[in-house]
Chains A and B, each alone.
Chain A
Amino acid sequence: MSHHIVEVRNLRHVYPDGTVALRDVSFRITHGESVAIIGANGAGKSTLLLHLNGFLTPTAGEIRIGDYPLTKATLPEIRRTVGMVFQDPDDQLFMPTVYDDVAFGPLNLGLSGTDVEQRVKDALEKVGAGHLQEKPPYNLSGGEKKRVAIATVLSMSPDILVMDEPTDGLDPHARRQLMALLREFSHTRIFTSHDLDMVLELCSRVIILHEGEVRGDGPPLEIFRNDELLARCRLEKPLSMQGCPVCGGKVS
């Protein structure tokens, strides 16, 4: 299933004001991988994510999603393949009801009637939000909004899920619920996050971005044990890997 592959080659992006957001980024993510892209503020994470869906055009370099290079012609297909969940669910939920919002994508894909209904039902069911379908999005809690935002993307049956800070702004319980949900997905998953404990639990691979370059790429435990690398990239170990501040216990 080669269409689940994301390949970025020598990606460079310079904003119109001259800021170099991405210098030279290359990586290849294969089917079913769960990858976290981490880095300090301003490291280029968001810029990178915006490239994966064609919102920004590379200044240099190439992006391939599945078998296609990302070009204007392949954009509609790629946008269906890559489901993007934004950091602020309020940006993503713009229709009068949850149902309409989840149906927005399938309707744009040209589906109709019972097909749309089935997809909306399945997507909401999957995120445990079936009971919310007639509610207007602005009446939902933060955790519910996040789950519905994920459903709006799932209803388009993407192969690759891209999420910007999925656990941002959630209370501990909602965060746990969301993590349990994300763990179940079989899609290729790409997250950006500052929640390194979530990364440790959910991801099989971590890519560190710093000053627009890839500085580290490997299994989470390996990356998080490299103190020198983390310090250089203005990062810290996940809390669960740090010694307990109360009992002083150390994790090896």
Chain B
Amino acid sequence: MASIDGALLDFKRLDRLATGDTAIHRLDPRAKVLATLVFVVTVVSFGKYEVTPLVPFLIFPVAMVALGNLPVAYVIKKIALLCPFALVVGIFNPIFDREVLVQIGSLGITGGWLSFASIVMRSILTVGAAIVLVGVTGFPGVCLALERIGMPRVFAVQLLFLYRYIFVLTDEGSRMERARKLRSLGKKMEPGIFGSLVGHLLLRTWQRAERIHMAMLARGFTGEFHTRRDTRFGGRELLFLLGWSTLFIILRFLNLSQLVGSLVTGISP
């Protein structure tokens, strides 16, 4: 379970990055959440064979990483961790969709490969944007923004609790698994034991969650989460949101990659 412990610790690092103090960090979370939302919607709205128009969208996560002073290698590693899911989703496309759509010299690229590449590209973009968003805003900040935008408070608080308890749950789980391993002498886990383990985990987590909740109540928690920075949605936020949104919409309808390509090669599309 050491690997899970490690991954978890690494995930907590993302939260810690959010305490940075760059211009991007200081923006009101709403501006960042909304811009990311527009980004995700535009990226997802592309047709299934489109790959090249997606490339310019990399500018958003890259710019945020650079301006937010996030460690590049760390962000790439986090994205790579989630890539296998996209690979699994897209891997059958090249097998089923064999119609050749693009001919480069003697090499024919089938629709399957194109849609596969498109899926992978889109996952990288959306997952990257989400990770970067948490990295420059922090999860509590994101929840706060969602609530201020209009999500019911109950959901916002639910999300926050979920986030807290994931750490608690995995901690407890890895400790129990370690205890089982030490006494099972290398035997595999039987289904019955697994059931009992999960049951216990649920009860223990429940108890701990209750204690955490008590500690929160003891310090005046009323269901409202406050963050340290008291920000407001001002001119800079509006500029940030409108600027990025406009760029995304332009990129949506204008294939920049092709444009640049044709400028370089001198062939009009």
Name, among A79, A96, A134, the residue most crowded by chain B CB atoms within 10 Å (CB to CB).
Answer: A96
Answer whether residue B215 sits at the interface, using C-beta atoms and an 8 A cutoff: yes
Docked complex: A100-136 residues within 8 A CB-CB of B:
100, 103-105, 107-109, 112-113, 116, 134, 136
B224's nearest neighbour on chain A, judged by CB, is A108
Name, among B15, B19, B218, B226, the residue most crowded by chain A CB atoms within 10 Å (CB to CB).
Answer: B218
A103's nearest neighbour on chain B, judged by CB, is B228
Q: Which of A50, A104, A113, A153 sits near B230, CB closer than 8 Å?
A: A113
Interface string of A56-95 (1 = CB under 8 A from B): 0000000000000000000010011011101010011011
Stretch among B28-36, B151-159, B206-214 lining the A interface = B206-214
Do A94 and B212 touch across chains, with their CB atoms under 8 A apart? Answer: yes
A155's nearest neighbour on chain B, judged by CB, is B219
Do B220 and A91 touch across chains, with their CB atoms under 8 A apart? Answer: no
Q: Which of A82, A83, A107 sits near B226, CB closer than 8 Å?
A: A107
Docked complex: B194-238 residues within 8 A CB-CB of A:
208, 211-212, 214-222, 224, 226, 228, 230
Answer whether residue B145 sits at the interface, using C-beta atoms and an 8 A cutoff: no
Given the complex, which residues of A lie within 8 Å of B211, measured CB to CB? 86, 88, 91
**A83 vs B219: C-alpha distance when bound (angstroms):** 8
Do A96 and B218 touch across chains, with their CB atoms under 8 A apart? Answer: no
Given the complex, which residues of B lie within 8 Å of A80, measured CB to CB? 220
Do B219 and A112 touch across chains, with their CB atoms under 8 A apart? Answer: no
**Interface residues of B: mostly helix, strand, loop or mixed?**
helix
Do A153 and B219 touch across chains, with their CB atoms under 8 A apart? Answer: yes
**Number of interface residues, chain A, beta carbon within 8 A:** 34
Given the complex, which residues of A lie within 8 Å of B15, measured CB to CB? 96, 136
Q: Which of B12, B208, B214, B216 sits near A136, CB closer than 8 Å?
A: B12
Given contacts A91-B208, A96-B140, A109-B220, contact A55 B214 (CB under 8 A): yes
Given the complex, which residues of A lie within 8 Å of B215, measured CB to CB? 84, 86, 91-92, 94
Interface string of B71-91 (1 = CB under 8 A from A): 000000000000000000000
Given the complex, which residues of A lie within 8 Å of B217, measured CB to CB? 55, 79
Given the complex, which residues of A lie within 8 Å of B164, measured CB to CB? 94
Answer whether residue B16 sits at the interface, using C-beta atoms and an 8 A cutoff: yes
**A81 vs B230: C-alpha distance when bound (angstroms):** 26
Nearest CB of B to A197, in Å: 27
**A82 vs B219: C-alpha distance when bound (angstroms):** 9
Given the complex, which residues of A lie within 8 Å of B222, measured CB to CB? 76, 108
Answer whether residue B18 sits at the interface, using C-beta atoms and an 8 A cutoff: yes
Answer whether residue B128 sits at the interface, using C-beta atoms and an 8 A cutoff: no
B219's nearest neighbour on chain A, judged by CB, is A105
**A152 vs B224: C-alpha distance when bound (angstroms):** 18
Name, among A53, A88, A107, A138, the residue most crowded by chain B CB atoms within 10 Å (CB to CB).
Answer: A107
Do B220 and A108 touch across chains, with their CB atoms under 8 A apart? Answer: yes
> Can you spell out 12 A-B residue pairs with CB atoms less than 8 angstroms apart?
A53-B214, A79-B217, A86-B214, A86-B215, A94-B216, A96-B12, A97-B16, A109-B220, A136-B16, A138-B9, A152-B219, A156-B220
Taking A97-B16, A107-B228 as given, write out 8 further A-B residue pairs in contact, using a Cβ cutoff of 8 Å, ordered by the A residue number. Answer: A50-B214, A55-B217, A76-B222, A91-B208, A91-B214, A95-B140, A108-B224, A116-B228
